[in-house]
Amino acid sequence: MKHMTSSYENISDTARNYSDCPRVVLPEEIFFTISIVGVLENLIVLLAVFKNKNLQAPMYFFICSLAISDMLGSLYKILENILIILRNMGYLKPRGSFETTADDIIDSLFVLSLLGSIFSLSVIAADRYITIFHALRYHSIVTMRRTVVVLAVIWTLCTASGIAMVIFSHHVLTVITFTSLFPLMLVFILCLYVHMFLLARSHTRKISTLPRTNMKGAITLTMLLGVFIFCWAPFVLHVLLMTFCPSNPYCACYMSLFQVNGMLIMCNAVIDPFIYAFRSPELRDAFKKMVFCSSTARMTDP
């Protein structure tokens, strides 16, 4: 986020005077390439679900929600690079009204990506919980109508919150709210996991008779959650350090890795589709059909 980047530049100059850690700078080409790949991969996931009726189920709609979140994170970086290029070429007035407005919109995409990922992972966790422990009633509990309503509410809240957080991004309360959602999601999912573990111990036979796909979905969620934490936690920590100890040399040393932490976020959007494909044979088949059908169509064109 440019607001955070510019703030980092200003507040860490003093801290770097007392720190031996040089700022790590990565080529913009790396960010741009990873972002393009992330957008294309998640777009393929969305197309695979919406073009195959067999995949149009609540579980895959929740996965689409996470794919949209990942795609927004990648799109943020692409648009930011385009904005920088236009400014460097002289088409935009530096810090002008248009650039400021465009920057706020782009930053909203970044915040929306994080919020969307948090709520999408949470709803996927709830879906897996219902699938495992209420398997017989799953289709009556998780209907398509309820799925659409839940996703509409989630994205409405995320959009409103994203805009508000960008507008009030310089307030400490906003930073606390922004960063607190990350551990709150982890606590929520951890509570579901603990409850699942306790129920599994008391219903061992019942759990063993469930379809393997139900337990496989829980493993997929664990992988997605692990990648999300690994990719986003460094950035969340950076925001906290930047807010509460900007002049501390140890904090400044960690904040010198700002661009590395940003690259990890971009990598999250690239890794998630591989997890979907690796864990879901249905999605794998849909991907293959899309690729081979498009290849066949090109070969048969006159």
Render pLDDT for 226-247 as a digit per residue (tens, 0 to 9). Answer: 899 999 999 988 888 888 887 7
CA of residue 31 relative to chain centroid, distance:
16
Q: Using the 8-state DSSP alphabet, how is residue 55 labeled?
A: G
Question: What does pLDDT average to over the chain?
Answer: 80
CB 118 within 8 A of CB 155: no
CA dist 193 and 185 (Å) reads: 12
Residues 265-302 pLDDT 10s: 999 999 998 888 877 888 888 877 776 665 444 444 54
Task: Determine which of 46-55, 56-65, 169-178 has the lowest per-residue pLDDT on average.
Answer: 169-178
Q: Using the 8-state DSSP alphabet, how is residue 135 labeled?
A: G
**Residue 102 amino acid letter:** A
Q: What are phi and psi of 94, to 5 degrees?
A: -55, 130
- What is the total residue count of the chain? 302
CB 272 within 8 A of CB 69: no
Instruction: Decide: helix, strand or coil at residue 262.
Output: helix
CB 125 within 8 A of CB 189: yes
